[in-house]
Amino acid sequence: MCCRRGWYLVTLTGYFGTFALLMAWYTVLAPSPYFPVSLVLLVLGTPLLFPLRGLLHGRNYTFSWSCFLALLYFIHGVVEATHSNTTLLYGLLEVSFTILWFAGAIMFVRVGHELEDR
């Protein structure tokens, strides 16, 4: 998994996994009883759309700054995992996907810089 293409796929797996999990979680699996579904999807889903084009095109800069976004969703997953037993599984899944996203993006950029230095 030391090649750049492999890290690209790891990053996209984490990114799209996070996106799909949040969409399914708040619409079908366990909608919030306190907030409208549309508001939750707007607040949680919109920031995920910002890096989409750059990630799909493999741009180093987008991979770099999307790590900050992954950390925000990581925090959300940790809070949800520790909040109650009903959201434990979904929170842990979100944490797992964001770790894939973060680690994959970091390694994608790192391998890219090593290739440029040669």
Neighbours of 110 (CB within 10 A): 14
pLDDT the model gives residue 115: 75
Of the ranges 22-36, 60-74, 96-110, which one carries the lowest mean pLDDT score? Answer: 22-36
Q: What is the pTM of this model?
A: 0.92
Structural domain harbouring 26: 4-117
Please write the tens of the pLDDT for every residue from 9-50: 999 999 999 999 999 999 999 888 899 999 999 999 999 999
| pLDDT band (50, 70, 90) for residue 2 | low
- For the chain, what is the domain count? 1
CA distances from 50 to 53, 58, 81, 85, 111 (A): 8, 14, 25, 31, 24
Q: What is the mean pLDDT of the chain?
A: 93
Q: How far apart are CA 33 and CA 118, in angstroms?
A: 55
